[in-house]
Amino acid sequence: MNDTIIVMGGGIIGLSCALELRRRGAEVRLLETASCGGQASGAAAGMLAPYSENLEAPDAFFMLCRESLQLYPAWQQQIRELTGMDFEYTACGSLYVAYHEADLLALESRMNWQRDYGSSAVVLQDQELFDAEPGLSRKAIAALLTPEEHHIYAPDFVKALKAACLQEGVRIHEHLDALDLVEWKDRIEVRARSGRAFTGDQLLVCTGAWAGAMSDLLGVRIPVQPIRGQICAYAWGENRTPLNHMVFCSQGYMVQKGNGTLVCGASEDIAGFDSSVTERGIRRLMQWNHKVVPVLEGLKPFHRWAGLRPSTLDGQPLIGRLPHADRVLLAAGHYRNGILLSPVTAMLAADCAEGKPLPAWQQAFRPDRFGTAVTRVDAAGAAHAMRRSCP
Ligand code: GLY
pLDDT digits (tens, 9 = 90+) for 96-133: 999 999 999 999 999 999 999 999 999 999 999 999 99
Q: What is the mean pLDDT of residues 329-337?
A: 97
**122 C-alpha vs ligand 1 centroid, how far in Å?**
23
Residue nearest to atom 3 of ligand 1 (CA): 336
If asked whether residues 304 and 166 sit together in one domain, one would say: no
Residue nearest to atom 5 of ligand 1 (CA): 266
User: Where in the sequence is the domain holding 353, given as residue range(s)?
Assistant: 4-46+155-223+314-376
If asked whether residues 245 and 302 sit together in one domain, one would say: yes
Q: What is the mean pLDDT of residues 356-374?
A: 89
**253 C-alpha vs ligand 1 centroid, how far in Å?**
9
If asked whether residues 104 and 230 sit together in one domain, one would say: yes
**266 C-alpha vs ligand 1 centroid, how far in Å?**
7
If asked whether residues 209 and 355 sit together in one domain, one would say: yes
If asked whether residues 240 and 362 sit together in one domain, one would say: no
For residue 335, the ligand 1 atom closest to its alpha carbon is 4
Residue 52 falls within a domain, yes or no?
Answer: no
The pLDDT value recorded for residue 374 is 65
Q: What is the mean pLDDT of residues 189-212?
A: 95
Please report, rounded to a whole number, the percentage of residues in the chain having pLDDT higher than 70.
95
HEC string for the chain: CCCEEEEECCCHHHHHHHHHHHHCCCEEEEECCCCCCCCHHHHCCCEECHHHHCCCCCCHHHHHHHHHHHHHHHHHHHHHHHHCCCCCCECCCEEEEECCHHHHHHHHHHHHHHHHCCCCCEEEEHHHHHHHCCCCCCCCCEEEEECCCEECCHHHHHHHHHHHHHHHCCEEECCCCCEEEEECCCCEEEEECCCCEEEECEEEECCHHHHHHHHHHHCECCCEEEEEEEEEEEECCCCCCCCCCEEEECCEEEEECCCCEEEEECCCECECECCCCCHHHHHHHHHHHHHHCHHHCCCCCCEEEEEEEEEECCCCCEEEEECCEEEEEEEECCHHHHHHHHHHHHHHHHHHHCCCCCCHHHHHHCCCCCCECCCCCCHHHHHHHHHHHCC
If asked whether residues 10 and 124 sit together in one domain, one would say: no
Residue 76 falls within a domain, yes or no?
Answer: no
Which pLDDT tens digit goes with each residue over 205-247? 999 999 999 999 999 999 999 999 999 999 977 667 789 999 9
The pick from 47, 275, 334 for probing ligand 1's pocket by mutation, whose C-beta has the most ligand atoms within 8 angstroms, reads: 47
User: Is a pLDDT exceeding 70 seen at residue 389?
Assistant: no
Task: Specify the number of domains making up the chain.
Answer: 2
Residue ranges lining ligand 1, Cβ < 6 Å: 45, 47, 229, 265-266, 309, 336
Residue 389 falls within a domain, yes or no?
Answer: no
